[in-house]
Every structure is written in C-alpha cells, then in structure tokens.
Amino acid sequence: MSLLRSRRRSPGLYLAVVLAFLYLPIAVVVLFSFNSSSTLNLPIKGFSLRWYEAVLTDPTYTSALRNSLIVAVVCAIITTVLGTLAAFGLTHVSPRVRPWLAVLFFAPITLPGLFLGLSLLAWFAKLDIELSLWTVAAAHVVYTFPYFLLVAQSVLDRIDPQYDELAADLGASSLLRFTRVTLPMTWPVLVAGGMLSFVLSFDEFFITFFVIGPQSTVPLVIYSAMRRAIDPSINAFATLLLLVTFLSGVVIAVLARTGRAARKGVKAS
C-alpha cells in the first residue's frame, strides 16, 4: 500500500538466494528419487519411478509406514484431548499464576529429543513397561504436547473472554459454555494442533529410537538404510515422508486461517 515500499529496490534477488540455500538440498533428494540410475551424480541420467515401486513393495518399508501412521494417529488423538483440556485449564487459572504454569508447560520444547528419549527409556524401564509402538506413542505425546499447547493457546488468547460471560449471562452453565460456545469457535485451530502433533510424531526419530521395541518406523528405516549402503530407494522413501509433512502443513495452514478468519470477522465488524 505504501509508496515507501514500492520505491525501495526490490529485495527479490536476496530472498531468492536465501530460499535456494534452504530448498536446493531438498530438491536434490526429490530429484534423485526419480533417477533411473542408481548412482548419486548430477545431472541424473533419466526419469523413472523404479525407486517408488521398490519402496511400496518391500515389506520393510511398508510395515514401517504402517507403524509410523499408527503411532502418529494415536499420538495426535491423545495430545489433542489432553492438550485441549490443559489449554482451557490454563485460561481459567488466576492471571498471576498463569505465566509460570505456561513456562512449565512450554519449557520441554527446548529439550533435545535425545534427552527426552533417554529419560523416557529410564522411566519405562523403571516401571517395567515393555517397549512397543504404544510406548513410542506415549513418548511422542510428551514431545508434541507443548507444541499443541502453543497452537491452542494462540487461539484461546485471542478469543474475547467476554464470549464466556455473554453465554453465562444468557443462562449457560460452565459445561454448556464450553460445548456450545468455546469449542465451536475454536475447533479448526485445535484440529490444526492435532495435525501438527501428527506430523511431529511421524517425523520423529530420536525418541523413537530409544523407546521402540522390535518394530520400526519411517525415520528409523531411513536411518538404518543410510548406515548400510547407499540405496537410492531411500530417496523415494524420504520424498514420501516429505510429501506427508508438506500436505499436513498445508492442511494446518488452512485450518489455522479458518480459525483466524472466524475470530477476525467478529472483532473487525
């Protein structure tokens, strides 16, 4: 809108360089996944889907895909339920205590996955819980929970608390206010938070590495494939992982936008 902006020299070139730095490595992997030869040299020899075929028929890859999906879905559901309750709980504690509680909840975000994996393993061992996909899902909940809370808080913080008072004024009890007002106004963002948990869980390697039993997940398979030899089908598998991540990202962005639009419509009208 401002003339000031259009008069500046375009920062386009500079932005292009930064983006290239970020995306070229990824582009290379995607490119190799369609390579018809098995050597990892540029330029690629020809185009083929052979590595994808290899990935989708090899039981190592397909069972890893299935395991990753199970863990990610279970983790997303548990995180969404627990996180929603915690987020609403936080809006109802006194304003003096809230920032401290928030710090406690969000601090684990800065914990390295290594650390979480290590300590959860000790924990499961201590409690004599056998390692399985379920321990992975539980561990992932610990990992994704603060992220979900961050997303949920971002919407709850912006929702006018007077909606709650308004609903009370019109006769709604605490429970009815939650089900008839707060949930309908916030669900897109809560679902977006759930999707984020799904992606984080699907991509997670380190915690999984520690707390999984005999089974395997997508990142683990990629990792062990890397260690064995350079099998080009790994590029196809990684591209699939990338695709899941990217599509989830799109869904998250759309949902978050829906939620924001609904809020804006009210405040700006």
Partner 1 sequence: MNTVLSLTGISKSFGKVPILHGVDLDVHEGEILSLLGPSGCGKTTILRIIGGFERPDRGRVVLAGKDITDVPPHRRPVNIVFQRYLLFPHLSVFDNVAFGLRIDKVGKRDIERRVREALELVGLEDLADRRATQLSGGQSQRISLARALVKRPQVLLLDEPLSALDQKVRISMQAELRRIHRETGTTFVYVTHDQQEAMSLSNRVVVMNAGRIEQIGTPADVYHRSATKFVSGFVGDANLVAVEALDSAGDGTEVKVVETGQRLRLRQTLPQREAVLVVRPELLRLSATGDDGLSGTISDIAFLGSAVQFHVDLDGMTLRVQEPAGAAPLTLGVGDVVRVVLPDHPVHVLTD
Tell me the closest approach of the beta carbon of residue 8 to a second copy, in angstroms: 6
How crowded is the C-beta side of 237, counted as CA atoms within 13 Å? 29
State yes or no: residue 246 binds a second copy (CB under 8 A). Answer: yes
Residue from the set 44, 73, 77, 168 that interacts with a second copy by CB under 8 A: 168
Residues 6+ positions from 214 with CB-CB distance below 8 Å? none
Beta carbon nearer to partner 1, 48 or 258 = 258
45-74 residues in contact with a second copy (CB under 8 A) are: none
| d(C-alpha 101, C-alpha 146), whole Å | 12
State yes or no: residue 175 binds a second copy (CB under 8 A). Answer: no
Residue from the set 44, 63, 69, 123 that interacts with a second copy by CB under 8 A: 123
State yes or no: residue 103 binds partner 1 (CB under 8 A). Answer: no
- Positive or negative, the CA dihedral 135, 136, 141, 143 is positive
State yes or no: residue 256 binds partner 1 (CB under 8 A). Answer: no
Beta carbon nearer to partner 1, 10 or 269 = 269
| Residue 208 to residues 139, 225, 268, Cα–Cα distance (Å) | 8, 16, 45
Residues 6+ positions from 133 with CB-CB distance below 8 Å? 67, 70, 71, 74, 212, 213, 215
| d(C-alpha 219, C-alpha 200), whole Å | 12
| d(C-alpha 42, C-alpha 146), whole Å | 41
The option from partner 1, a second copy, none interacting with 47 (CB < 5 to 8 A, set by class) reads none
State yes or no: residue 229 binds a second copy (CB under 8 A). Answer: no
Beta carbon nearer to partner 1, 228 or 267 = 267
160-219 residues in contact with partner 1 (CB under 8 A) are: 160, 162-163, 165-173, 176, 180-181, 184-185
The option from a second copy, partner 1, none interacting with 265 (CB < 5 to 8 A, set by class) reads partner 1
Residue from the set 1, 43, 46, 59 that interacts with a second copy by CB under 8 A: 1
The option from partner 1, a second copy, none interacting with 157 (CB < 5 to 8 A, set by class) reads none
Beta carbon nearer to partner 1, 41 or 269 = 269
